[in-house]
Amino acid sequence: MTSAPIAQQRLLIDLQDLDSRLARLRHERKHLPVLTRIEAVIERLKVNKRAAIQAEATLDEAKKQATRSEDEVGQVVHRAEVLRERLHSGTSAARDLSAIQGEIDQLGQRQSALEEAQILAMEALDSARQEAERLSQEESEIRAAGRELTAKRDAEFARLDEEIDSLENQRADLAGTIEAPLLADYEAVRTSTGGLGAVAMRGRTVEGGAVEISPQELARIVAAPAEEVIHAEENDVIIVRMDI
């Protein structure tokens, strides 16, 4: 059974206080609200990127369709002009004039249909261009929000890291004053419990509520020599008597 001067044992309570504070700070660092907000921004950026890729593909197709419509209208207009020149040139045979006029009329109808299609194609192009521009603007806004949140996160990290570094230095200094076997005992217990190595007992009360002791165990603790390092029966945590 480990034994150590009671003054040494009481240093474990100070060490536990530092370890508890360090654990809280590390938990806070890992679970900063800004980290969740950054994750949300990253997800928004992914959604925006997927939409932007689709919008770019839609825009490319709209450009091609608008070009095709323009070319088709141009071809019909050119053909109609050629036929009108033939019709009015006086070089065509009389028997061909009716056929030429008929083709001109058909081209006029075709031109009207193509021009309607061209209008629709231009409207689709304009809509696709607006959507691509909207998504580009949205991306800029998302990235700006991300930069702002990242700066906030970095500031929070810097603040917490400074506190953690300070406490770690204090812990190292304090641990250096504790006898090696006692410190090793404390560290082993703290590892097994996930963070709790020692608790203070004042009078007949164990502080913090982390350890419950029976009347029989309390009697054993009260009767134990001051140098005896006492472990709780429930979870092996070191019970440090503060009043003896």
Q: What is the CATH number of the domain that holds 60?
A: 1.10.287.1490
Q: Residue 94: what pLDDT? A: 66
Please state, in angstroms and rounded to a whole number, the distance separating the CA atoms of residues 199 and 240: 6
Q: Report in angstroms the alpha-carbon separations of 26 from 31, 105, 106, 143, 157.
A: 9, 83, 80, 28, 10
At 46, the amino acid letter reads K
C-alpha 141, offset from chain centre: 16
Does residue 240 contact residue 201 with C-beta atoms inside 8 Å? yes
Q: Indicate whether 50 and 125 sit together in one domain.
A: yes
Token digits of residue 85: 């020149």
Digitized pLDDT (tens) for each residue of the chain, 244 residues in all? 489 999 999 999 999 999 999 999 999 999 999 999 999 999 999 999 999 999 999 999 999 999 999 999 999 999 888 888 877 777 766 667 778 788 888 888 998 999 999 999 999 999 999 999 999 999 999 999 999 999 999 999 999 999 999 999 999 999 999 999 999 999 999 999 999 999 999 988 898 877 888 999 999 999 999 999 999 998 999 999 999 8
Residue 171 lies in a domain: no
The residue out of 163, 192, 225 marking a domain boundary is: 163
Render pLDDT for 5-55 as a digit per residue (tens, 0 to 9).
Answer: 999 999 999 999 999 999 999 999 999 999 999 999 999 999 999 999 999
Q: Indicate whether 98 and 151 sit together in one domain.
A: yes
- Give the three-state DSSP class for 26: helix
Residue 174 lies in a domain: no
**Residue 104: domain span:** 32-163
Residue 169 lies in a domain: no
Query: What are residue 74's phi and psi, to 5 degrees?
Result: -60, -40
Q: Residue 92: what pLDDT? A: 63
Q: Residue 108: what pLDDT? A: 85
Q: Residue 101: what pLDDT? A: 82
Please state, in angstroms and rounded to a whole number, the distance separating the CA atoms of residues 86 and 107: 15
Q: How far apart are the first and last CA of the chain?
A: 20
Token digits of residue 4: 């150590």
Residue 173 lies in a domain: no
Q: Indicate whether 157 and 84 sit together in one domain.
A: yes
Does residue 200 contact residue 26 with C-beta atoms inside 8 Å? no
The residue out of 134, 163, 192 marking a domain boundary is: 163
Question: In the chain, how many domains are there?
Answer: 2
Q: Residue 102: what pLDDT? A: 85
DSSP β-ladder status, 205-206 and 230-231: unpaired
Greatest extent of the chain over all pairs of C-alpha atoms, in Å: 135
